[in-house]
Amino acid sequence: MSATIVNTRNDLYGLTTQKLTLRKSMDERALSLIEATSDLCVTAYHERNGTDTAVSLAERMATVEILIEQYRFAGMDTLIEVAKQRQLQALAEKLGVEYVE
């Protein structure tokens, strides 16, 4: 039996989302995101206090980023981008600069 070959991150996220859709409900996916973001918060706190490493923090960030990408492929890409643009615009205003993408 040969394995499916994926050449891009987008293909991998898309394939993961397809397989998760068959096995996981949105509630289960939300719980996975909640757990991963909680782990990220704890690790960030520990890294700040010197009881954890930047490597551990990066690993938790990567996990959360992958889960967010799965949400994007599950149909939330536009919602995430609109929210992100709004937040970047607010940040630019706070810094007193003009944000143009």
CA 4-23-78 angle, to 5 degrees, is 80
Give this prediction's pTM. Answer: 0.73
Question: How high is the mean pLDDT of the chain?
Answer: 87
Measure the CA–CA gap between 62 and 56, rounded to whole angstroms. Answer: 10
* pLDDT tens digits for range 19-60: 666 566 778 889 999 999 999 999 999 999 999 999 999 999
* Dihedral Cα 5, 80, 58, 35, nearest 10 deg: -90
Q: Are 61 and 40 in contact (CB under 8 A)?
A: yes
